[in-house]
Amino acid sequence: MRKFVLRYLIPRIIQYLTLIFVGITLTYIIPRLAPTNPVEAQVSMMIARGSSLDPDAIEAMRAALTELYGLSGSPVEQYFAFWSRLFRGDLGPSLGNFPTPVSEMIGQALPYTLRLLIPALIISWIFGNFFGALSSYYPENKALNVVEVLGQVVRSIPYYIVAIVLLVVFSYFIPIFPFSGAYPIGTRPDWSSLDFILTYLEHSVLPAATLILVGFGGWFVGMKSLTSNIISEDYVVYAEIVGLKKRNILVQYIMRTAMLPQLTALAMSLGTVFSGALIMEVVFGYPGVGSLAIRAVYSNDYSMIMGITIYSIIGVATAVFLIDLLYPLFDPRVRYQ
Amino acid sequence: MTLLSVRNLRAYYQTEAYGISRTVQAVDGISFDLFPNEIYGVAGESSCGKTTLIKVISGNIKHPLKVLEGSVIYNFNGYQVDMLQISEDELRRNVRWKQISYVMQGSMSVLNPVRKVIKTFEDIVRTHEGITDKKKFLEQTRAHINRLGLPTDVLNAYPHQLSGGMRQRVAIALATVFQPALIIADEPTTALDVVVQRGVLHMIKDIQAMSKNTVLLVTHDMAVHANVTDRMMIMYAGRIAEEAPTESIFNAPLHPYTQHLINSLPMIGEKTTRTSLGGSPPNLANPPGGCRFHPRCPHVMDECRTVVPDLVTVKERHRVACHLFKEDSV
């Protein structure tokens, strides 16, 4: 146990923290290298709107904005101020939705994104992997061939097209699902009412279906190519010669080993859900992080963009860290050392 | 009584890609018998059809391998099995592992890398006999492993934690859980160093002496044949060149190819250089006509180029396929 902590856990924690530090530092630096000055942009926008301000007022506004954007002081001072605010959980006010704090807006949007993306991801992962392995083990099976063609087709279509097609078919031609949003416009989220939860679920069907369909195709194809290599491995051929039952071979010999890289991929995908599903959320008018990010890009709200990026960095780094710790449970060839 | 009789077996690899078909005549008209309680060797250089022959007689025929003609008949104490007719289900239920087990070529990698060795034993026993009492199964497996001189620890190890020689021994232990009538061992000592080779060969010999079954040992290594086998065949380009008790093969080889093979072996104390045989083995996709050895044979005659020599019995238990020898001429 002591060896595990010293040789395995601590180096990985250091790695994890370094990754987050470098990632966040880069997201801090990159916008600052851009040749635009957000304060000047804001000021000139005000002037361009035609409001006649005396130079003193402009100067005061410039100072206020500089302070607000965290741009006062030398670059080093700014950088430390940024970290100290970050540790207090303060990501600054949203510039597009002034003065609501970024963390509050993300906090509102994130649950919607997570409740949609995580189940969709896990469902598509399970089904995609299962059918992918099945279809490469039974290449002659007609039904599986049909599934494969569907998976390939859906996967090769951009997912927002899939989203629009589903929307047109199931909301317009066959109007069984609502058009947009996570709940009807004008209602307030009330998590104690069953009716609200049901409409919420109803609103989530099409976005979830899009994600599951597209995800299924991806996992299916990945798993199929992984298993088609494993099928010709000696230990699988041997299991067949030994006369083991096909189901036994499929589960314990083929899926068991093919699953390992897919698990890593799943962890990475779980990490990326924090940045939302950008265009999908826009198509469905879904109030998640993706919609937030798109709006932030349009309105030059770079404190919001940074906030979302930071969440995403922490999400991915945490997922990788956790899978790193858990991996030896799945693959005995990897040991804590 | 024969355990296995193979008659006039022809098995080709037939592939077709972009309209070009290609046929590899890997096994071309082979007939031989196996008897209970013997170690029978199959020797021959790489790509002469040894592994293909084994695939057919062990019932592992998969596209593009195809049997064109011939028969492969087993007799397991009165239970007759026609390997080319038997259903996949019956084969799996009654024959595989219970009657015929197989130590695969490259059997270092036959173990599932992510499961413990005991799990592979468990899978095999569960499939073929069922496990009702887990404790009894564990006891029996431990006893089996110990009987073969392996430490009990290997059962709880993962394959990557075992050495190559140990994995090979585990593969042999797996092949002998049910005391099958026939154990096929394909290159069981290749890729092992000589000390480990010796251990593995001893193990095979001991198992055979203990359970009096038949071992079909395939290897290109003539030294292994000299040490282990009772009878052997020399294959050349998909056909049998010569078949005889191992002693006769080494002491009085008849076929020119066998003679070259034996002469090429180094002897302790001898200082002369070994001559190598000119030419290279024929391409089985386009083999030479007549005797397939004729382009390299020092005694080549006109009829060798056109007529395929029959495998004739020249002495008791000694058969050779060469135009130099006619029935009982020696």
- Cβ contact (<8 Å) for A233 and B107? no
The 3-state DSSP class for residue B326 equals coil
The ipTM of this complex is 0.84
Q: Average pLDDT for residues A158-183, to the nearest whole number?
A: 87
Burial (Cβ within 10 Å: 0-12, 13-18, ≥19) of residue B138: middle
Residues B37/B3, Cβ–Cβ less than 8 Å: no
Among residues of chain A, what percentage have pLDDT more than 70? Answer: 97
Asked whether the bond before B282 is cis by omega within 30 degrees of 0, the reply is no
Our measurement of the distance from residue A214's CA atom to the centroid of its chain's CA atoms, rounded to an integer in Å, reads 15
Q: Average pLDDT for residues A100-119, to the nearest whole number?
A: 91
Question: What's the pLDDT tens digit per position in A271-300?
Answer: 888 776 788 888 888 889 988 988 888 877
Q: Average pLDDT for residues A164-181, to the nearest whole number?
A: 88
Q: Where are the domains of chain B?
A: 4-236, 237-268+277-330
Q: Which of A234, A237, A248 sits opposite B123 (nearest CB)?
A: A248
Give the gap in angstroms from C-alpha B173 to the nearest C-alpha of chain A. Answer: 13
- Cβ contact (<8 Å) for B97 and A242? yes
pLDDT in tens, chain B (330 residues): 899 999 999 999 998 888 888 899 999 999 999 999 999 999 988 888 998 999 999 998 988 899 999 999 999 988 999 999 999 899 988 999 999 999 988 777 889 999 999 999 999 999 998 888 999 999 999 999 998 889 999 999 999 999 888 998 899 999 999 989 999 999 988 878 888 888 889 989 999 999 899 999 999 889 899 999 999 999 999 999 999 999 999 999 999 999 988 888 887 887 777 777 778 888 888 889 899 999 999 899 999 999 999 999 988 899 999 999 876 554
pLDDT at A67: 78
- Cβ contact (<8 Å) for A253 and B58? no
pLDDT at B145: 92
A-chain residue closest to B125, CA distance:
A244
- Find chain B residues with C-beta within 8 A of A229's C-beta: none
Which are the contacts of A121, defined by CB distance < 8 A and separation ≥ 6?
Answer: A211, A215, A266, A269, A270, A273
Q: C-alpha angle B211/B216/B220, rounded to 5°?
A: 135
Q: What is the DSSP letter of B279?
A: S
CA–CA dist B136, B152 (Å, integer): 15
CATH of domain B4-236: 3.40.50.300
Q: Which of B110, B113, B116 sits opposite A238 (nearest CB)?
A: B110
- Cβ contact (<8 Å) for A238 and B124? no
Q: Which of A237, A242, A331 sits opposite B124 (nearest CB)?
A: A242
* Tokens read off for A293: 């990010």
pLDDT of residue A51 exceeding 70, the answer is: no
Asked whether the bond before A99 is cis by omega within 30 degrees of 0, the reply is yes
Q: Which of A234, A244, A333 sits opposite B109 (nearest CB)?
A: A234
A102-330: which CATH architecture? Orthogonal Bundle (1.10)
**Chain B interface disruption, residue of A244, A329, A335, most B CBs within 10 A:** A244
- Of A58-67, A255-264, A278-287, B246-255, which range is least confident? A58-67
- Length of chain A, in residues: 337
Concatenated DSSP letters for B80-98? EEETTTS-HHHIIIIIBTT
pLDDT of residue A14 exceeding 90, the answer is: yes
- Find chain B residues with C-beta within 8 A of A331's C-beta: 114
pLDDT at A47: 76
Q: Where are the domains of chain A?
A: 38-88, 102-330
Q: Is the dihedral of CA A306, A312, A315, A319 positive or negative?
A: negative
Q: Which of B92, B111, B124 sits opposite A235 (nearest CB)?
A: B111
* Tokens read off for A300: 């030059």
Concatenated DSSP letters for A33-66? HSS--HHHHHHHHHHHTT----HHHHHHHHHHHH
A234 touches chain B (CB under 8 A): yes
Give the gap in angstroms from C-alpha A335 to the nearest C-alpha of chain B. Answer: 11
Place of tokens 């039952």: A245
Q: What is the DSSP letter of B107?
A: G
A83 touches chain B (CB under 8 A): no
- Cβ contact (<8 Å) for B104 and A241? yes
Give the gap in angstroms from C-alpha B216 to the nearest C-alpha of chain A. Answer: 16
CA–CA dist B231, B216 (Å, integer): 10
CA–CA dist A25, B152 (Å, integer): 55
A263 touches chain B (CB under 8 A): no
Alpha carbons within 13 angstroms on the beta-carbon side of residue B313 total 6
pLDDT at A52: 67
pLDDT at B276: 76
pLDDT at A196: 86
Task: Return the exposure string of A236-245: e unless at least 16 CB atoms fall within 10 Å of the residue's CB, then b.
Answer: bbbbbbbbbe
CA–CA dist B72, B59 (Å, integer): 9
Residues A317/A23, Cβ–Cβ less than 8 Å: yes
Q: Which of B109, B114, B128 sits opposite A332 (nearest CB)?
A: B114
A-chain residue closest to B126, CA distance:
A244
Give the gap in angstroms from C-alpha A37 to the nearest C-alpha of chain B. Answer: 56
The type of residue at A40 is E
Mark which residues 293-332 of A lie under 8 Å from B by CB: 330-332
A166 touches chain B (CB under 8 A): no
Question: What's the pLDDT tens digit per position in A294-335?
Answer: 888 887 777 888 899 999 999 989 998 998 888 888 888 877
- Cβ contact (<8 Å) for A234 and B107? yes
- Of A50-54, A64-68, B145-149, which range is least confident? A50-54
Q: Which of B110, B113, B127 sits opposite A257 (nearest CB)?
A: B113
- Cβ contact (<8 Å) for A244 and B127? yes
End-to-end CA distance of chain B: 27
The type of residue at B100 is I
A255 touches chain B (CB under 8 A): no
Give the gap in angstroms from C-alpha B303 to the nearest C-alpha of chain A. Answer: 43
Q: Which of A243, A248, A332 sits opposite B96 (nearest CB)?
A: A243
pLDDT at A50: 66
Our measurement of the distance from residue B176's CA atom to the centroid of its chain's CA atoms, rounded to an integer in Å, reads 16
- Cβ contact (<8 Å) for B112 and A256? yes
- Find chain A residues with C-beta within 8 A of B54's C-beta: none
Label the pairing between strands B318-320 and B312-315: antiparallel
Beta-strand (E) ranges in chain B?
A: 4-17, 20-34, 39-43, 65-76, 79-82, 100-103, 182-186, 214-218, 231-236, 239-245, 312-315, 318-320
Element (H, E) at B75: strand B65-76
Comparing C-alpha atoms, which of B109, B237, B81, B212 is closest to residue B170?
B109
- Find chain A residues with C-beta within 8 A of B91's C-beta: 243
Give the gap in angstroms from C-alpha B98 to the nearest C-alpha of chain A. Answer: 10
Which residues sit opposite B75 in a β-bridge? B80
